[in-house]
């Protein structure tokens, strides 16, 4: 299928590693021009070496002044914008609500939902000039299910879905589609870190935690970043011109979270 995104100009937040880097690679392979941001300058340098056509900015999406600089850099480099992938999101603390450090709560929401607001608000005027404009927000299966011992993360990811559906309504008249992706357990470092923290909290081994994570899905496989990228390429393409306001689960039909 020709996705017709060879001319696409995209910003991917937290694109220096993990899922964001996989999305950036997939976009570049289709011929798109990509600007990445990340808080980690070393990881950005490694990403630039792997993807020499991308431009980059060091930026913490929860820092509004840094996001303003990110958009200045990206617009200078790309000359316009067709797609914003709001990928940045932190796992946040693990623990019962009465044990959660309030600062860790604030920080999780500041990155995971306010960070998406910080980027979306600056993207709108540029996206409005594009004939194929979209915003794609990373939520999580924790954006449609309860997630015991991870309340800051779940609260932030449910917020992403509300944000997505609201923007879809208000930005349609500008020709901007807005969708959310809700991944289940994605293979990679982050998943290992999260399951290890939970294993400690529940006095279980990492292997037992991994088995439990998959037991609750109908398709008992970890999700690959490539599967997420495939969906994101479609959502960024004019092929999805009537798809907006959707919270799309890519999770092996996960029934509950552990
Ligand atoms: P990750 O933890 O591997 O981090 C990827 C990158 O984010 C890193 O390079 C890091 O430096 C950068 N980053 C962290 N905080 C940042 C900030 N404030 N501003 C800019 N960059 C920042 O994450 P991931 O697993 O690639 O997850 C990407 C997105 O997918 C997140 O929104 C996450 O919540 C969501 N998600 C991930 C999984 C999973 O299993 N990995 C599952 C569901 C949803």
Measured in residues, the chain has a length of 258
Which class in CATH covers the domain with range 9-184+224-248? alpha beta
pLDDT at 216 > cutoff 90 = yes
Question: What residue has token string 């800051």?
Answer: 152
Give the per-residue pLDDT at 31. Answer: 97
The helix (run of H) or strand (run of E) holding residue 72 is helix 64-78
Give the per-residue pLDDT at 233. Answer: 98
Give the per-residue pLDDT at 144. Answer: 98
Whether 153 sits among the annotated catalytic residues: the reply is yes
Mutate to test the pocket of ligand 1, among 51, 89, 229 (most ligand atoms within 8 A of CB): 89
Token reading at 107: 């920080």
Catalytic entry in 147, 153, 158, 163 = 153
pLDDT at 201 > cutoff 90 = no
Give the per-residue pLDDT at 30. Answer: 97
Average pLDDT over residues 102-118: 99
Using alpha carbons only, what angle is made at residue 221 by residues 220 and 226, rounded to the nearest 5 degrees? 150
Token reading at 75: 């617009």
pLDDT class of 26 with cuts at 50, 70, 90: very high
Token reading at 133: 């404009």
| Global pTM exceeds 0.95 | yes
Residues forming CATH 3.40.50.720 domain(s) in the chain: 9-184+224-248
Sheet with strand 176-183: strands edge to edge: 55-58, 33-38, 9-13, 83-86, 133-138, 176-183, 247-250
pLDDT at 117 > cutoff 90 = yes
Per-residue pLDDT reduced to its tens digit, 153-195: 999 999 999 999 999 999 999 999 999 999 999 999 888 998 9
Query: Burial letters for 112-126: b for 16+ Cβ neighbours within 10 Å, e otherwise?
Result: bbbbbbbbbebbbeb
Give the per-residue pLDDT at 194. Answer: 85
Give the per-residue pLDDT at 190. Answer: 85
Per-residue pLDDT reduced to its tens digit, 67-96: 999 999 999 999 999 999 999 999 999 999
Average pLDDT over residues 50-66: 98
Please list, in sequence order, all residues whose beta carbon lies within 8 angstroms of the beta carbon of residue 210, skipping any fewer than 6 positions away: 195
Using alpha carbons only, what angle is made at residue 231 by residues 226 and 233, rounded to the nearest 5 degrees? 90
Give the per-residue pLDDT at 164. Answer: 99
What residue's CA is closest to ligand 1, atom 36? Answer: 140
Give the binding-site residues of ligand 1, using a 6 Å CB cut-off: 13-14, 16-20, 37-40, 43, 60-62, 87-90, 111, 138, 140, 183, 185-186, 188-191
Q: Are 54 and 48 within 8 A, CB to CB?
A: yes
């Amino acid at each position: 299928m020709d996705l017709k995104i060879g001319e696409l100009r995209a910003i991917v937040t937290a694109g220096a590693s993990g899922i964001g880097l996989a999305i950036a690679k997939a976009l570049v392979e289709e011929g798109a021009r990509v600007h990445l941001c990340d808080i980690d300058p070393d990881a950005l340098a490694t990403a630039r070496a792997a993807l020499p056509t991308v431009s980059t900015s060091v930026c913490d999406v929860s820092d509004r002044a840094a996001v303003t600089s990110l958009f200045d850099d990206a617009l200078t480099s790309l000359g316009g914008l067709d797609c914003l992938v709001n990928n940045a999101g932190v796992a946040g603390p693990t623990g019962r609500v009465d044990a959660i450090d309030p600062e860790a709560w604030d920080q999780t929401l500041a990155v995971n939902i306010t960070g998406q607001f910080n980027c979306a608000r600056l993207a709108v005027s540029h996206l409005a000039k594009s004939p194929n404009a979209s915003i794609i927000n990373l939520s999580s299966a924790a954006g449609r299910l309860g997630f015991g011992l991870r309340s800051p993360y779940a609260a932030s990811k449910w917020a992403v879905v509300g944000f997505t559906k609201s923007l879809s309504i208000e930005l349609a008249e500008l020709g901007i589609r807005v969708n959310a992706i809700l991944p289940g357990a994605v293979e990679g470092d982050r998943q290992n870190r999260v399951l290890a923290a939970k294993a400690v909290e529940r006095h279980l081994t990492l292997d037992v935690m991994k088995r439990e994570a998959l037991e609750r899905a109908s398709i008992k496989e970890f999700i690959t970043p490539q599967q997420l990228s495939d969906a994101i390429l479609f959502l960024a393409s004019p092929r999805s011109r009537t798809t907006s306001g959707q919270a799309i689960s890519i999770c092996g039909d996960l029934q509950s979270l552990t």
